Structure formats: structure tokens, C-alpha cells
Chain A
Amino acid sequence: MRILSILPVCGVVVAWFTCAMLLAEDVSPVESSEVLSAAQHTATKKEMFSIKSDPFGLIWNRLKPALDADNFQVINQGVLQLETLMVSAGVRSLDDYALVLVAKGEHQLASRNRDTAHFYLRKAYQLSPESPVVLYRSLNLASETGYRSKLAQWRRIIASALRTPELLFQVPVVLIYPLLWAATLGLFCALALLFSLRTDEILRRVARILPKRSRGYLTPLVVILCLVAPLSLGPLWTVAMWTLILFVCLPRYRWLGMIGGTVLAIWGFVIPLKENISLWLQDPAVKIMLRLAISSHGPQDIQELEGLASRRLGSDGLVYYLLGDLSRRYGMYEEAEEYFAKVGPSLASDPRIPAQLALITFARGDNERAKELFLEAEEKGLESAPLYYNLSKVYFELLDTKSSREAITKARRIDPSLVAQFEKREETLGLRASSSFSGFEVPVLQLFRSSLVPMPGAREHYTEVAEKLMWPFSPFGIAVVGVALFLCFFAVSPEKQRRLETYYLGYTVPAAQRRLTSLIPGGGFAVSGRPVWCFLGVSAVALSLFPLLGWPNEVVELFTVFPSASQVAFVIASVVFSIVYVASFLGKKESE
């Protein structure tokens, strides 16, 4: 029965996770023609910008007439040129162009030109072999053209999504408010039902506190005031006050109180994080940072990043690190060294800095110094395939073949595919070409630190949200209230001396009220004295109902991207509703 109760929560979370993961990529609507026109529009803008600086845009513009005419030979050559350029520039993915090709493929599939559709799909994968967005958008196309089964395609989508650092931020940002609201509403319902079913106990407890001479009149008034007044102040006030009442009057249900305190504390901690990260993710330069983390970049990105560095007034060391990395990739070594010198204390001791400087030194021909810097990076704890691969090249130049062999063996042991990929580049581009050096992945921890650096206006924004939720508290105040309530859990003992109860002894919960409560999904748990399970059940139902209600905002985004998601949401809500209802019914029967 308990497993049954957990299932809906897990199911809803997984469903949300999947949706959020897909939402995470900032993509345009799914309609093929719209994608095509959007991508073409983007390409036009790119063309305007990149006449001088973007070689990809130049090739793509030459390719567009061929795409309109379905000239496969020209398209093939153009894609090959783009692919070669990607290798030489160290770019892993060209999502915009790949999506246009996928849209063309879907158009051909709709016209029942299966082979043509298959061709466009292959070309799209050449440009973006590991992009989760391209893989997801081509899900139907891949299965219909027989390129790959849906199951295999889903596996690739999930695997590639897990390698995308942007998702590490987008998924929690999309999930957190719906989860917290579901928990808050679950708590609200569980507490309301519990109090309504244990009113006599609350009245008795309050009666003991009140003066003897007037407790008969005052008790119901005080109880009603304490229970009803917080409702006019907002949901978090209600949860906080009711949790306190729970600890005082019904200490044997203190676990629910602990959950109440925890949820409030999470609200307090999460509001600033969520709001700041949301603003951070909206910054165009941050999008570039996240692309750079998977080595997807262009020379124009330097300008955007410089803008970001000036906006953050040097407080974000990661921006300088990425600027240095990007400058190095494009051969601007002096600028790169300047940027690496500005990374600040958070990254100054990072082993990637000497490793990056070693790459610059090696590119300039100072092999001995490059070796020293690589070894310094190794001493500081960097033991990765790129380090050993690059170090083997340095040893090779120093004619230390034994050490070179040892280093390349270590690199192969850690990541054989990466070594094979760069060996291929080295053959094509030469030993000292910047693209034949293996770059160093941006550490997720540094990305997280960067996301925590306050964005302009974030403080005002999250303070306003917190005050709307629980006036007059700031997020810090909400967190303090939550932590205080959480600590009450340890201060309250359910094993208090049993008292002789004398008041309201003739009261039993009316049968009609019990039946009505049981009709609520999860209400059966409340009737059987399991408010924590009631909380879980109601939270799961609330979470599954959010997509149907179109609330909160994240759900609206979901339907914007996936118009057909309403049917899926309805099915999920029905299943969750049924499971919770059956589980609570069984729980009630079991207690009887």
C-alpha cells in the first residue's frame, strides 16, 4: 500500500522531469513550416552579422538555394564543408542549421518522400550528432524513415541531455515552483483535513491553556480564530501557523509538522536561487557560456562574453575563464593570458588555469614551460583525458617518447573516444593547430557558482515574490521561520504523559464528514490518521493537475512547446488520481 502511495509522486515527478528537460532548450514551436521559417530568419540575421566573422553563416547562405531546390549534391557538399569547419573550429554542434534540415525532412516525409526525408535526417545528424533538441525533434522522423527505433532514439536523447550542462540548471528551475506549490497545497489540505477530523483534541488542548472561568466560551472562539485567521494572510502564513498549532495541539502528528517546516525553509532558500538563476539563464551571454561548456562556440561569442563580464563587474571569474578559453581557441594568446589573469580567487587555484596557459605556451613553441605547466595542473588534481593527451604531445615535441607514450596511454584509459577524435584532428590540422588541442570542460561547480552571482535587479525581484507569498518576510525570513518550525519537531515529544481528558468526550466525527473526506483523493489517509500519506497523495494529485489547470507559469510554457501535451497530462492526472484514491481507500480500510 505504501509503495502504491509513492508511485504517483514518482510518476508525476518523472513526467515533469521529462517535460522540463524538453522545455529546457529554448526552441521554437514544433510545426515544421514554422521551424523552417524561424531557422531561415535566424540564418538571415546570422548572415548580416557574420559576413566578416562567421564562416558557418557564409557556407549556410550558399546552401539555402540548394535546400529550396532539393539539390542533394550541393547540400551534401555544403554540409561536408560545415562539418570540416566544425572540426577545425572545435565546434561540436550546429543546432539551428540541423533543425532546418530536420524540418525539411519532415516536410518530405509528409509528401511521402521517405528516402529524401532520410537524407535530410542524416545531414542534420552530421551537423548536430549529440544535441538533445535535434534528437527529440527528429524522433518521429527517425522512426518513420527507419533510421532508428523510437526506443533507441529516446535512449540517445536522455544520454545527450545528461551531458548538457544547461539542463542541470533548466530542469530544477522549471520543476521547483510546481513541486513546491504541490507540496504546499498538499500540506494545506492534509492539515485542514487533519484539524477538521481532530477538532475535539485541539479544543481540549486549548481549553487547558485558557482560564478556567471562561474556557467554555473562549475555547471555540480562540480555536476558530487561530485556524481561520492565517487563511487571510496567504498560503505560507497558513502553513506556518497551522504547523505551529499542530506541534502544540497534536504533537503525535509532528512528522507532518516537520514536513511543514521543511517546505517553508525550502521556499525561503529556493526563491532567491530560482529567481536569480532564471535571470541568469535569460542573459544571452550566459547561453553562450553554457554552449561553450560543450564546446559549441563562434568567434562572435567573445563580444557577448565581454559584455557579460562588464555587467558583472568582474565578480564572475568563470566569464573570464571562458573568454580566455575562447581567445586561445581563436589564436588570440595575449588576450587569453590577460583573461586568465582576471579569473579571481574562485578560479585562481583551479588546475585548469595552468593547463590552459600550458596550451598557449605550447602553441607558442615553448615546450619545456608547457610541460611544467601541465605537470603543475596534474599536481593540483587535474587528472583528465585532455590533460594527458595534450601532455603526450608536449613530451613528443621534447622527444621524450617514453613519457609521451605513457601519457597517451593514460588518456586512452580515461576516455578512448576523445583521444581517437583528437588524433584524427591532429592528422588533419597538424600538431600545433589550436583545434587539435583538447580543451578542458568547464566544471559544473564553477557554472553553479556563476549562477549564484547576483544578477542586476534579482534582489528586488525575489524580495517582492517572497513578500507576496508571506508578507512581510524576505526569503531569509521565510527560511528562518521554516527552520524554526523544523527544529520544533525535535522539541516536541509525542510521548507526553497521558492526561485525563474530560472535555468534549461525547464528540465523534460525524459519519457524513468522514465519508466526504474519504471522497477527496488522499482523504482516506487523513481519516485513518495518516496525514503524511495524505500530504503525499494530495501533492501528487496537485502536481498532476497543474498542466490541466495551466498553472504555474512553467506549465504554460509546456503547452506552448507541446500543444498536444494536454492529452498526455489528462491521462497522467487520471492515473495519479486513481492510484491515490485507491491507495487512500485501502489505507482507510486497513485502519478500520
Chain B
Amino acid sequence: MHTGSLTPDNFSQVLRGLSQKRKSGTLEVVRGEEKFTVVFFQGKILEAFRNDFTPTAQLVETLVKSGFVASGEFQLEALPANYSELFGVLQSSGTSGHLFDEDMYRQIVRHRVMQQLYNLPIDQGSFYNFRNEVRSVERELLPSISVGQLLLDLVELSEERAAFQEQFGAQPFLHRTQTTTEEALSDDAFLLLNSLRSEVSLFDMRESGLLNEFALRDAVDELQAKGLVERKAGDSRSAKCSHITTEETSNDLSGEASDQEPLAAFEADQGSVDQLMQFLEDSIDQNFSVDELAGQRSNAQNGVVSESQSESIVTSVEPKLSIDSARSEQGEEVVHRSSSYLQSRLLHQSWVPEMVSLVLLGASVLLPLLFWKEVFSIFG
């Protein structure tokens, strides 16, 4: 076990030592009440997280902040302990988890880990403690970050952070334009573009941890160069006000009320989310049609369906429709996500493999009887 105080002077030495000796184990960094854990495997960093929440909770926090997942959708206590299960839950949760796929998910995990590493407390008063142990982690999903890369990043960050703040301070808002492009986007730019629903503060984006600082800067530059987003000046104070603090997000995760209005609306509907999901699944399975779903919604409003169902529809579906309406009013092309949602749901339906299996077995029995007679007749 290695222990000692951690300072900016010896931080590099400690990490290099672990890397050179290809250590596998856990590095704990403690400063006051804060505690961080960095997981090493054969000298490479696989995972980094604050100890106040599990890594998956922190990931959900990132997703909530970046708008991929609705606040209040998950109970903190009920979150899965590992990333793969969380992904399954996100994919089947139905609200907005289907918006990203496996590769994008892996990318978000990587950015979160990188951002945690950038935020490691290495000021005076920090202590470290390294334990040799083989920790069970999801290596297929987690990044493998070299210490050298991390140290270089930290040096560059410390050098350019002031300039970055200054640049963003002048134009702190990102606005998605109506322009489309045929050019390929980098993964980070694509991720950022997907997360942009309306005008977003760059500070919020940075603090969300969806992309680490380097990636965020590069992605913004790329999107701006391609005309897909534009920076806008604004009141940096309001931008900072819109930033969701960790504490607030934690409250969101645990289901407590927040002063964020949309989040509060979702939380108010927390009890009916399951019913809504059930209703949506049933209606999708039965109809495969958004129009019919809308029809059912109107039926629900006319009292055809149960009261609880109609309530959940009104409270949960309407906000989405209102966003679309708002976009339409602004002249944006409204992309209904129902098609994407349906096809995403199809990828998680058990009856699909059952049907394919049945068709295969039936065809394997019947088609040879129909088509192979001539072949068999040659030999007998």
C-alpha cells in the first residue's frame, strides 16, 4: 500500500510510478470530506469517480444535465450497479434513453471518466492511498487512459483554462442553427449536436460532463465551422444561474422537488411514469402508429381510457408536443421522434426473435417439401 500527501509537485510522480510499475488497484484521493477513486489496471486508468455516488449515478447525473434523460426518471436507489445494466435500463426506459446507441454510450462514459480525472483535487491538503487489488470492472465498456495522456491534458488545461473561460465568457450560449450538412461529423460533435435542443449555456454543457473540456472545445469549434451551431452573447450571470448544481441534480435523482420548472413537472408525474410507459408499450405493440397513438390519446381525453392513463398522457406527452410546437413556430424542422422511438422499441421486443424463430422453423419444414422435390427425384 502506498500512502502520502498529494501535491501538484508529486502528483505526476505518483501517477507515473503506478503506470511504470503497471499497477492494478485503486487510488483514493482524499481532501477533507471529498473522496475520489481512480481504478488502475496494468498501469492504465479505467475508472474515476467521486465516492459520494456510484459511477452509474454520476453518469445518470451527466445524462440528466445534458438533457438525454429526464430528471426524476430514475430513483437513485434503484439505479443498476454497472454500466451495461444501466444502458439496458436506459434503452428500455423509453423517454429519451433511446436517443443514443452503444458507441455513443461508451463515448459518454469515457468523457465522464476523463472529466473526473481533470477535476481530481491535487491542492495542498490532499492525501492519496493506493491499494493493490484487482477490481471487477466492465473493461469492454470503460476507457483505458494512459497516465501520460492525462498528465499532458492537465498541463494543457492549466495553461489554456483562462483563455477558454475568457472566450466562453464573451459568448456563453450555444444556439443550434437550421443548417444541415452532408459532411461527416466527429463522434464528439455528433454527441454535442444531439444534446442541443435549444439554446444552451456553454458553462452548463461543460459542467454537465457530457464531453470533457478538450472535447467540448473541439466539438464546438467543429460545429461552428460547419455552421451547425452559433455562439451567442448573453448574460453570463443568467447562464451561471441555469447551471444545475450537483446538489440539485442529486435531489432530482432522489426524487425530491427542484426549482427547475421542467424537472419539477417530470417529478410531479413520477408516480404515473410506469403507467405511461406501460400504456405506450401496449399502444405501440398494438398499433405501430403514432397517429393511432395520438388517437388513443384523444380517446383518453374523451374518457375512453382510464383516468390514470389519461392523466399520464396529458401530463407527460404534452410537454414533448409543446416543444415540437415551439420549434415549428420558430421555423425549425420538427423531427418527430415517434418513428425512431418505435424502431428502438422493436429492438427490445421479445416477440421479434420469437416470430423470426417461428418463421424459420416453419419455412425449414415446408419449403423443402415444396422446392426440393426435383432435387430429391434425381437421387431416388
Instruction: Give A residues with C-beta under 8 Å from B.
Output: 177, 181, 188, 192, 195-197, 199-200, 202-203, 207, 212-217, 219-220, 223-224, 227-228, 231-235, 465, 468-469, 497-500, 502-510, 513, 550-553, 555-556
Q: Give the nearest-CB partner of A191 in chain B.
A: B364
Majority secondary structure of chain B interface residues (helix, strand, loop or mixed):
helix
Q: Which one of B84, B101, B361 has the highest number of Cβ atoms from chain A below 10 Å of its Cβ?
A: B361
A469 vs B379: C-alpha distance when bound (angstroms): 10
* A–B Cβ pairs within 8 angstroms, 20 of them: A196-B360, A197-B357, A212-B101, A215-B343, A215-B347, A216-B344, A216-B346, A224-B356, A228-B363, A231-B368, A232-B371, A234-B372, A235-B375, A469-B375, A469-B378, A500-B141, A502-B88, A503-B347, A504-B353, A510-B354
Is the CB–CB distance between B379 and A213 below 8 Å? Answer: no
Say how far A298's CB is from chain B's closest CB, in angstroms. Answer: 37
Is the CB–CB distance between A235 and B379 below 8 Å? Answer: no
Is the CB–CB distance between A219 and B347 below 8 Å? Answer: yes
A551 vs B374: C-alpha distance when bound (angstroms): 13
A509 vs B372: C-alpha distance when bound (angstroms): 29
* A-chain residues with CB within 8 Å of residue B83 when the two chains form the complex: 500
A145 vs B336: C-alpha distance when bound (angstroms): 94
A533 vs B102: C-alpha distance when bound (angstroms): 35
Is the CB–CB distance between A502 and B102 below 8 Å? Answer: yes
- Which residues from 76 to 108 on chain B have a C-beta closer than 8 Å to any C-beta of chain A? 83-84, 87-88, 91-92, 101-102, 105-106
Which among B106, B340, B349, B375 is the interface contact of A213 at CB below 8 angstroms? B340
B233 at the interface (CB under 8 A from A): no
A224 vs B355: C-alpha distance when bound (angstroms): 9
A232 vs B373: C-alpha distance when bound (angstroms): 11
* B-chain residues with CB within 8 Å of residue A552 when the two chains form the complex: 379-380
Is the CB–CB distance between B378 and A468 below 8 Å? Answer: yes
* A-chain residues with CB within 8 Å of residue B352 when the two chains form the complex: 203, 219-220, 504, 507
Is the CB–CB distance between B88 and A227 below 8 Å? Answer: no
Is the CB–CB distance between A199 and B368 below 8 Å? Answer: no
A273 vs B84: C-alpha distance when bound (angstroms): 55
Is the CB–CB distance between B347 and A234 below 8 Å? Answer: no
Q: Give the nearest-CB partner of B83 in chain A.
A: A500
Is the CB–CB distance between A551 and B347 below 8 Å? Answer: no
Say how far B16's CB is from chain A's closest CB, in angstroms. Answer: 29
Say how far B105's CB is from chain A's closest CB, in angstroms. Answer: 8
- Which residues from 272 to 303 on chain B have a C-beta closer than 8 Å to any C-beta of chain A? none
**Size category, B interface:** 35 or more
B35 at the interface (CB under 8 A from A): no
A227 vs B102: C-alpha distance when bound (angstroms): 26
* B-chain residues with CB within 8 Å of residue A499 when the two chains form the complex: 102, 140
User: Given contacts A192-B364, A220-B355, A231-B371, are A498 and B380 in contact (CB under 8 A)?
Assistant: no
* A-chain residues with CB within 8 Å of residue B359 when the two chains form the complex: 224, 227-228
* B-chain residues with CB within 8 Å of residue A196 when the two chains form the complex: 357, 360-361, 364
Q: Give the nearest-CB partner of A549 in chain B.
A: B380
* A-chain residues with CB within 8 Å of residue B345 when the two chains form the complex: 216
Q: Give the nearest-CB partner of B377 in chain A.
A: A468
Closest 9 CB pairs of A and B: A216-B343, A216-B346, A551-B380, A231-B367, A552-B379, A199-B353, A192-B364, A200-B353, A507-B350
Is the CB–CB distance between B375 and A504 below 8 Å? Answer: no
Chain A-chain B contacts (Cβ-Cβ < 8 Å), number: 130
User: Given contacts A215-B347, A553-B379, are A498 and B356 in contact (CB under 8 A)?
Assistant: no
Is the CB–CB distance between A213 and B343 below 8 Å? Answer: yes
Say how far B370's CB is from chain A's closest CB, in angstroms. Answer: 8
Say how far B335's CB is from chain A's closest CB, in angstroms. Answer: 11
* B-chain residues with CB within 8 Å of residue A227 when the two chains form the complex: 356, 359-360, 363
Which among A228, A468, A556 is the interface contact of B360 at CB below 8 angstroms? A228
Say how far B56's CB is from chain A's closest CB, in angstroms. Answer: 14
A397 vs B33: C-alpha distance when bound (angstroms): 117
A469 vs B375: C-alpha distance when bound (angstroms): 6
B193 at the interface (CB under 8 A from A): no
Q: Which one of A177, A203, A231, A497 has the highest number of Cβ atoms from chain B below 10 Å of its Cβ?
A: A231
Q: Give the nearest-CB partner of A233 in chain B.
A: B371
Is the CB–CB distance between B379 and A181 below 8 Å? Answer: yes
* B-chain residues with CB within 8 Å of residue A199 when the two chains form the complex: 353-354, 356-357, 360
Is the CB–CB distance between A203 and B353 below 8 Å? Answer: yes
Is the CB–CB distance between A553 and B360 below 8 Å? Answer: no
Is the CB–CB distance between B361 and A506 below 8 Å? Answer: no
* B-chain residues with CB within 8 Å of residue A228 when the two chains form the complex: 359-360, 363, 367
A93 vs B299: C-alpha distance when bound (angstroms): 97
* A-chain residues with CB within 8 Å of residue B102 when the two chains form the complex: 499-500, 502
Is the CB–CB distance between B372 and A507 below 8 Å? Answer: no
Is the CB–CB distance between A505 and B374 below 8 Å? Answer: no
* A-chain residues with CB within 8 Å of residue B380 when the two chains form the complex: 550-553, 555-556
* A-chain residues with CB within 8 Å of residue B357 when the two chains form the complex: 195-197, 199, 509, 513
Say how far A137's CB is from chain B's closest CB, in angstroms. Answer: 27
Interface membership of chain B positions 326-350, coded 1 if the CB is closer than 8 angstroms to chain A and 0 otherwise:
0000000000000010111111111
* A-chain residues with CB within 8 Å of residue B87 when the two chains form the complex: 500, 502
Interface membership of chain B positions 158-192, coded 1 if the CB is closer than 8 angstroms to chain A and 0 otherwise:
00000000000000000000000000000000000
Which among B349, B368, B379 is the interface contact of A177 at CB below 8 angstroms? B379
A203 vs B353: C-alpha distance when bound (angstroms): 7
Q: Give the nearest-CB partner of B347 in chain A.
A: A503
Q: Give the nearest-CB partner of A200 in chain B.
A: B353
User: Given contacts A216-B342, A219-B347, are A468 and B374 in contact (CB under 8 A)?
Assistant: yes
Say how far A207's CB is from chain B's closest CB, in angstroms. Answer: 6
Q: Give the nearest-CB partner of B84 in chain A.
A: A500
A227 vs B357: C-alpha distance when bound (angstroms): 10
A330 vs B355: C-alpha distance when bound (angstroms): 76
* B-chain residues with CB within 8 Å of residue A555 when the two chains form the complex: 380
Say how far B142's CB is from chain A's closest CB, in angstroms. Answer: 11
* B-chain residues with CB within 8 Å of residue A217 when the two chains form the complex: 343, 346
* B-chain residues with CB within 8 Å of residue A219 when the two chains form the complex: 346-347, 352
Is the CB–CB distance between A504 and B348 below 8 Å? Answer: yes
Which among B346, B363, B371 is the interface contact of A234 at CB below 8 angstroms? B371
* A-chain residues with CB within 8 Å of residue B353 when the two chains form the complex: 199-200, 203, 504, 507
* B-chain residues with CB within 8 Å of residue A507 when the two chains form the complex: 350, 352-354
A421 vs B363: C-alpha distance when bound (angstroms): 66
Q: Which one of B347, B350, B372 has the highest number of Cβ atoms from chain A below 10 Å of its Cβ?
A: B347
Known: A200-B353, A203-B356, A507-B350. 19 other contacts (CB 8 A): A181-B379, A195-B360, A216-B344, A220-B346, A220-B352, A220-B356, A224-B359, A224-B360, A233-B371, A465-B378, A500-B105, A500-B106, A500-B138, A502-B101, A502-B347, A503-B347, A505-B92, A507-B354, A508-B350
* A-chain residues with CB within 8 Å of residue B368 when the two chains form the complex: 231, 235
* B-chain residues with CB within 8 Å of residue A500 when the two chains form the complex: 83-84, 87, 102, 105-106, 138, 140-141
Which among B140, B348, B375, B376 is the interface contact of A503 at CB below 8 angstroms? B348
Say how far A493's CB is from chain B's closest CB, in angstroms. Answer: 16
* B-chain residues with CB within 8 Å of residue A202 when the two chains form the complex: 356
Q: Give the nearest-CB partner of B98 in chain A.
A: A216
Say how far A36's CB is from chain B's closest CB, in angstroms. Answer: 32
* A-chain residues with CB within 8 Å of residue B138 when the two chains form the complex: 500
